[in-house]
Amino acid sequence: DAYPFDAGLVRLDDETSVLELFHGPTCAFKDFGARFMARVMSYFNRNADRRLHILVATSGDTGSAVGSAFYQVPGLDVTILYPAGKISPLQEKQLSTFDGNIRALKISGTFDDCQKLVKTAFTDDSLRAALRLSSANSINISRLLPQSFYYIHSSLALRAALAAEGKANDVVIMVVPSGNFGNLTSGLIAR
């Protein structure tokens, strides 16, 4: 249920492969972590007497991936905070067109302002008494761990393919685009 899509490993030449992490519903690598996280949280919340409320700050991809992943998942509500005018039109459509248990709030300011509101909510005793709170940002290990799965899977698949070709290679080098610290952290966990 968490992964009805795959992370394709495409060989470009004898030494270079590309791990395609855009095959999820929102075309973001964050779909892998968010979908697994939503199902795990729902499972562990199944006997709780109160819903779990997820607070998320986004500059685009996280909000879309979390909205899609948590949409209509039992026992969970999500509030996504995003900066007005600072995300792409496609991302805004992706994260603001959900209903039901997902709500997106446009905030005047920057991503840092959204993140500050989320962090402040976690330190607000009266809010925490009223709501069971958690986050789906990369500060939550349950989003990072499942992102490590595709590093492990692709590394093993590449090694098997090389061995089948008689090109045994025990060194796999992963390159991660800058600005993806959560993704890089997941790779380090896999290592």
Question: Among 44, 48, 14, which residue's Cα sits nearest to residue 158?
Answer: 14
Q: Three-state SS for 136?
A: coil
What are the structure tokens assigned to 49, written together? 């007497």
**What residues pair up with 53 in beta bridges, in sequence order?**
77, 133
Query: Is 114 in contact with 107 (CB distance < 8 Å)?
Result: yes
Which stretch of DSSP H or E encloses residue 169?
Answer: none
Query: Is residue 30 flagged as an active site residue?
Result: yes
**How many other CB atoms sit within 10 Å of the CB of residue 100?**
11
Residue tagged active-site, from 30, 86, 93, 167: 30
Catalytic annotation, residues: 30
